[in-house]
Amino acid sequence: MPNQPDISIFRGSRPGSSLPIDIGNFRHFTRGRYALGEAYRLAGVNRDGALLAPAYHCVTMLDPAMALGADIVLYPLQPDLSPVLNKLDELLAAYGKPVKAFLATHYFGLAKNFSHLKKWCDRHDIVLIEDCSHTLFTEAFQAAGTGIYGRFVASSPYKFFACEDGGLLYSPDAVLLDTVKTRPAGVVEELRGIKRVIEKCRSNGPTASDSELIDARLAELNVKPLIEGNNRITAYDHPSSLYTAEESGLSSLMGSRCIVRLSSLTENMKRRRNNYQRWAKAVAELPNCHALFPELPEYCFPYMFPLHIKHAKPHFYWLKQLGTPVWRWDEMVISGCPIAQDYRLHLLHLACHQSLTDLQLDWMITVLQKTLRSPWQGVK
Ligand SMILES: Cc1ncc(COP(=O)(O)O)c(C=O)c1O
């Protein structure tokens, strides 16, 4: 089977679970956000039932709860992005109204142990939803330590495979998914999906000559006024433009599911782990930053390499202007969580996708190293 990983690439005993789970335990969506939406709905999240969500988040984790008209209560996180368990009772008491679901995220592909959280949720009659959007969680293979405690699990296979779309909803109790209905995409959409996959395969990355330009571009940026993004606080009570009602009931493309089924997990895993470890090595001695998780646990399929930088200003902006594919979650709901507030601007998400070539990764590493070593002399 091509999508059964070769466990010899792991040292240890259990790389993950590839026990066949009945397909009746899964529902397919175009994105994980719509799978989360169904999980929220099934858990009873609505105008009268709130969602407890992590203070460090991207908007698409909250959009579906906004679409249901629900309140969202943010819970604080520790530096390693686990929930601060001893604050949860306080939070629940302060909110005072019914809370129906708890969203727990395995960030960046590193599985967390949610066993205590599960007990807390059970004590308070709250449904635990596992957010496996950053972990490899498909019908055929579930990364070790994921999808064990959630009554519902949502994942985003499109983040791990070269496919156009893909969001999964899973429940260990198939009956709970009985009311989840999706409509299939049409032939035209299927064909468009195939076209986009081919186009992506053909797109060119940076070339070696780009590396030679980095010093010159940095010197230029250093003496220019910094071009920053908007830092506005906006009140809104509807989902972002990344969430649409029309897409919410649409199932993923058959072409995407085929790609997931036929891709080699072993190769995918090796490349991702290798890319992650190359980042970890490259930043180990680098000033003005630290890796959030320098050690990659065994059996882990990393999603991105999270790097904390000291000076978001100017380094994040320079990285962007140099064309580095780098992300951070700066659009976030304000909370009292100091970690979320810090990570919002300082935690970079760096790509370790299996399709990166050595040349591309070399270039990204060089840009990062040169940027973080570059002193800030620019005009304010
Ligand atoms: C942690 C997390 N959960 C859920 C989502 C939603 O996933 P999707 O992009 O598949 O809708 C995202 C989006 O990137 C995410 O980062």
Residue reference for tokens 């260990």: 172
Residue reference for tokens 């059964």 = 4
Strands 127-132 and 152-155: what pairing?
parallel
Q: How far is the CA of 207 from the centre of ligand 1 (A)?
A: 30
For ligand 1, atom 1, the nearest C-alpha belongs to 133
Is residue 164 within 8 Å of 253, Cβ to Cβ?
yes
Looking up tokens 């680098």, which residue turns up? 286
What is the residue with the minimal CA distance to atom 3 of ligand 1?
Answer: 133
Q: How many CB atoms lie within 10 A of CB 128?
A: 22
State whether 161 and 221 are in the same domain: no
Rounded to 5 degrees, what are φ and ψ at 359? -65, -40
Examine the domain organization and report whether 27 and 149 are in the same domain.
yes
- CA of residue 258 to ligand 1 center, whole Å: 21
- Order of all β-strands in the sheet with 72-75: 26-29, 167-170, 152-155, 127-132, 99-105, 50-54, 72-75
Within this chain, do residues 212 and 156 fall inside the same structural domain, yes or no?
Answer: no
Task: State in Å: Cα 214 to ligand 1 middle.
Answer: 32
Indicate whether 30 and 143 sit together in one domain. yes
Q: How many domains, the chain?
A: 2
Which residues constitute the domain of residue 300? 208-227+264-373
Predicted confidence at residue 203, as pLDDT, reads 67
Joined tokens for residue 287: 């000033």
Does any ligand 1 atom lie closer than 6 A to the CB of residue 156? yes
Residues 153 and 13 in one domain: yes
Burial classification of residue 150, based on how many CB atoms lie within 10 Å of its CB (0-12 exposed, 13-18 middle, 19 or more buried): buried
Q: How far is the CA of 210 from the centre of ligand 1 (A)?
A: 31
d(CA 193, CA 191): 5
- Examine residue 268 and state whether it is found in any structural domain, yes or no: yes
Cβ-contact 1, 264 below 8 angstroms:
no
Residue 243 to residue 63: CA distance in whole angstroms: 6
Judgement on whether residues 128 and 43 belong to the same structural domain of the protein: yes
Helix/strand/coil (H/E/C) assignment for every residue in the chain: CCCCCCHHHCCCCCCEECCCCCHHHEEEECCHHHHHHHHHHHHCCECCEEEEEECCCCHHHHHHHHHCCCCEEEECECCCCCECHHHHHHHHHHHCCCEEEEEEECHHHCCCCCHHHHHHHHHCCCEEEEEECCCCECCCCEECCCCCCCCEEEECHHHCCCCCCCEEEECCCHHHHCCCCCECCCHHHHHHHHHHHHHHHHCCCCCHHHHHHHHHHHHHHHCCCCCCCCCCCCCCCCCCCCCCHHHHCECCCHHHHHHHHHCCHHHHHHHHHHHHHHHHHHHCCCCCEEECCCCCCCCCCCCEEEEEECCHHHHHHHHHHCCCCEECCCCCCCCCCHHHHHHHHHEEEEECCCCCCHHHHHHHHHHHHHHHHCCCCCCC
Same domain, yes or no: 142 and 218: no
In a domain, 237, yes or no: no
219 in the same domain as 148: no
Beta pairing partners, 153? 130, 170
- For residues 36 and 172, membership in a common domain is answered with yes
Residue at which a domain ends, from 160, 177, 194: 177
Q: Same domain for 36 and 138?
A: yes
Taking the centre of ligand 1 as the mean of its atom positions, its distance from the CA of residue 345, in whole angstroms, is 18
Q: Judge contact between 172 and 130, C-beta under 8 A.
A: no
Closest C-alpha among 273, 266, 265, 261 to residue 301: 273
Q: How far is the CA of 33 from the centre of ligand 1 (A)?
A: 6
Task: Say which residues have a Cβ less than 8 Å from residue 109's Cβ, sequence separation at least 6.
Answer: 134, 135, 136, 143, 300, 301, 302, 303, 304
Domain identity same for 21 and 65 = yes
Backbone dihedral angles phi then psi of residue 200, each to the nearest 5 degrees: -60, -40
Residue 165 within a domain? yes
Nearest to 378 by CA among 219, 214, 216, 215: 219
Can you read off the two tokens belonging to residue 43?
A: 């858990």
- Residue 353 CB–ligand 1 contact under 6 Å: no
Best probe residue, ligand 1, of 28, 33, 36, 256 (max atoms within 8 Å of C-beta)? 33
Decide: 77 in ligand 1 pocket, CB within 6 A.
no
Residue 218 resides in a domain? yes
Ligand 1: does its nearest atom lie under 6 Å from the Cβ of 32?
Answer: yes
Render pLDDT for 295-338 as a digit per residue (tens, 0 to 9).
999 889 999 999 999 999 999 999 999 999 999 999 999 999 99
Q: Using CA positions, which residue lies closest to atom 15 of ligand 1?
A: 133
The answer to the question of residue 344 being in a domain is yes
The percent of residues in the chain predicted with pLDDT above 90, rounded, is 77
Q: What is the CATH number of the domain that holds 274?
A: 3.90.1150.10
Residue 232 resides in a domain? no
Phi, psi of 104 (to 5 degrees): -120, 125
Q: Which CATH number is 168's domain given?
A: 3.40.640.10
Ligand 1 atom closest to Cα of residue 105: 1
pLDDT tens digit sequence for 67-96: 999 999 999 999 999 999 999 999 999 999
Give domain status of residue 250, yes or no: no
Residue 22 has φ and ψ, to the nearest 5°, of -60, 135
Q: Which residue numbers in the chain have pLDDT < 50?
A: 1-3, 6-14, 379-380
Among 126, 138, 133, 115, which Cα is nearest to 63's?
133
Query: 106: Cβ below 6 Å to ligand 1?
Result: no
Mutational test site, ligand 1, from 60, 105, 129, 243, max ligand atoms within 8 Å of CB? 60
8 Cα–ligand 1 center, Å: 30
**256 Cβ below 6 A of ligand 1:** no
> Do residues 30 and 129 share a domain?
yes
Specify if 236 maps to a domain: no
Ligand 1: centre distance to CA 240 (Å): 13
In 3D space, the residue among 169, 136, 139 whose CA is nearest the CA of residue 32 turns out to be: 169
Residue 58, ligand 1, Cβ within 6 A: yes
